[in-house]
Structure 1
Amino acid sequence: MNSLIESMRTRQSVRTYETQKLSEHDLAQINAYITEEQNLVGPFGGKGKIDFVLIKNNVTDKGIKLGTYGFIKNPQGYLVGSAKNEKYALVEYAYIFHRAILYAVQLGLGTCWMGGTFNRNSFEKEIVLGEDEFIPCVTPLGYPKGKQRVFDRALRMVVKADNKKPWDQLFYNGTFEKPLPKEIAGGLEVPIEMVRLGPSASNKQPWRLLLSEDQKSCHFYIEHTPNYSSGLGYDMQLLDMGIAMCQFELACMELGIAGKWLIEDPQLAFISGNTEYIVSWKMA
């Protein structure tokens, strides 16, 4: 497989797929991945759950058409997971789910994070939900169509998918009063850059990272967009934080940078009242 860092750099959301069915090899690889327990363990020690739903002629084996409001064309399957509607459960779920998405990308499959543009009721008929669980998000799977629809290109322009915020708006050095320049990020420059390049709902990029003065810890915060996703009944931007953690840690692993996740709020002054501490990465 290709480098994970390279997969993070090149991955884009795919909404239009070839009509070609998933190969037996890729089906086997996906099913093996989501049944391997170590792939479903999150950064806080919790265990996630991901189901694979195969699609034939736009319906499932149960004859259910999974609704995506016209956003997805010719999907050949979906990864569907469930979690409790709790802060760290959602962060951890997104970490596990994004790791699975990156695995699918390495197989050559197209993916697309979907949190608010799918019919949850139709997907709930396909999986078994635990007590107090719901489906935060799904991703279609399939082979990317060479030429994306005009609709797809227009949507990327609307959400400014190709316009990522610069470092000085996202990353900080010791305090939120000092932006973090790339040249002083040391060995964490690439993992931090992978956070910047990660997908997020409406490309809001709510993550804010603060590198400690001794460069031994990197603190992760969320800058909430007021009232974002309030109509869905859960904080979708918490999923973005799980994605950021996944991108960061996988890049560290590939580069041989050892560390671990800790919930140890450094009690620093926030950027604004919308800022909330999430987690810290402490280098070994």
Structure 2
Amino acid sequence: MSAILFLATFGVTYFLLYTKEISKGFRFFICYVVAMSAFLISSLVNRRKYTKRNRPNPSTGLDKLNAYELCLSRKSIRNYDTTKDLSPEEKDSIKAFLLKPENLTGPFGTSMRVSLISKEEAVNGQLGTYGMISGARYFLCTVINEKTNDLDHGIIFQRIILYCTQLGLGTCWMGGTFSAKTFEPLLNLKKGEKLYMVSPVGHVKDEVTMTSRLVSAISGSSLRKPFDVFFTKGLDKNAQDSSFSEAERKSSFIGQCLDAARWAPSALNAQPMRCFVTSKSSLLPSASSASSSDRKDAVEEPYAVHFFGVGGKRTANDVGIAMLNFDKVAREVFHKEGEWIICGKMEHADIEEPRPIGSTGKLVYFATWLQK
């Protein structure tokens, strides 16, 4: 929505200035300033409806949190303490976690390599992050191949990120703000492999840099859209009974699992994940497209939770992160087992979401969690 507003404002301003006797460069500058102002004002207005969560920096004691508390506590850290290195026990613990095949394999059958590297191994002792990360000595790097599924990537790396959070360490998903050429020589890349994402890992520095404050403010990393934007009962977002009650959101098994997915990180905090919750019985061959499962009183356990997304290059990875949070809370907090499937019925579902200027956009289906 904000991107369309930016482009529309830019275009209208350019048109209004087209006949003015000013240089093309200055015209573009004015258009950019006006469009960016409209973008920022729109973002600030929209954020008034968002939920804010003040999360403390990672520290010892996070291992005592349950999975739901852990998912809500984890946040992006960009400033690291140069005086406090990872202990031998912490490094050994992370490396041991990365050696277990089950930790590096996703539910859709693909796997990847993840390496823990240090700046001391790099040429000139430098790993480039374009000034976005301060003081980090160690980094986790994901290496994928042409078979790696983006959903699996998001699930696997978030699994590792949360493990590091549990150790009291800071992390930060980085998909583009790093210099690949400084990292790649340390990864022994084979034919068909490539570096995909990295994350610093280390102890947090209490003092926050201006860059970190600016990035957090622009992205709104401590904010999330309203619950009803993400989650719908049934498959019709406009149905009268499609919202979860306050009690369901805060106290029920499904409400807390969905909330954990809601607080998953995403590229530029775009929050592209959307979920539609139906009863598992709605997927039976005998269930019609207009079945009673779309009614509020019919959405009950065992559940089928369908994960969709709003487009974008990193959408599948972002949805995978949310899926890991959901599944982790379901299993570890509520002892509810489920399996991930690609549901043909949902692949052909024609589900749209309201977009700006009265238009709608079709959501992209990714996967379904079926409660056992």
TM-score (norm 1): 0.89
Instruction: Name 1:10's counterpart in structure 2.
Output: 73
Task: Report whether the alignment pairs 1:80 with 2:141.
Answer: yes
The answer (yes or no) to whether the contact 2:119–2:125 under 8 Å persists in 1 is no
| In structure 1, C-alpha distance between the alignment counterparts of 2:73 and 2:340, rounded to whole Å | 26
**Structure 2 residue corresponding to 1:120, chosen from 180, 184, 188:** 180
Residues 187-228 of structure 1: per-residue CA shift (max 9 Å, x gap)? 211110001111001110100000013442000001114xxx
Query: How far has the Cα of 1:172 moved from its partner?
Result: 1.0
Amino acid at match of 1:222: G
SS at match of 1:75: coil
Matches within 5 A, 1:5-44: 5-19=68-82, 20-44=84-108
SS at match of 2:131: coil
Shift in alpha-carbon separation, 1:279–1:28, aligned structure 2, 3 A: same
Instruction: Name 1:211's counterpart in structure 2.
Output: 277
Question: Which structure has the larger Rg?
Answer: 2
The answer (yes or no) to whether the contact 1:17–1:143 under 8 Å persists in 2 is yes
Residues 16-42 of structure 1: per-residue CA shift (max 9 Å, x gap)? 000121101101101111011121121
The answer (yes or no) to whether the contact 2:122–2:183 under 8 Å persists in 1 is no
Identity %: 29
Q: Number of matched residues?
A: 271
SS at match of 1:176: coil
Structure 2 segments unaligned to the other structure (5+ residues): 1-62, 279-292, 294-298, 353-359
Instruction: Name 1:90's counterpart in structure 2.
Output: 150
SS at match of 2:196: coil
Matches within 5 A, 1:171-210: 171-177=231-237, 178=239, 179-182=242-245, 183-184=247-248, 186-210=252-276
Shift in alpha-carbon separation, 1:274–1:82, aligned structure 2, 3 A: farther
Amino acid at match of 2:318: D
Task: Report whether the alignment pairs 1:221 with 2:316.
Answer: no
Structure 1 segments unaligned to the other structure (5+ residues): 226-234
**Structure 1 residue corresponding to 2:343, chosen from 258, 264, 267:** 264
SS at match of 2:96: helix
The answer (yes or no) to whether the contact 2:78–2:134 under 8 Å persists in 1 is yes
Task: Report whether the alignment pairs 1:276 with 2:369.
Answer: no
SS at match of 1:6: helix
**Structure 1 residue corresponding to 2:129, chosen from 68, 73, 77:** 68
The answer (yes or no) to whether the contact 2:261–2:326 under 8 Å persists in 1 is yes
Amino acid at match of 2:107: P
Q: Which has the higher helix share?
A: 2
Query: How far has the Cα of 1:62 moved from its partner?
Result: 5.3
**Structure 2 residue corresponding to 1:236, chosen from 302, 311, 314:** 314
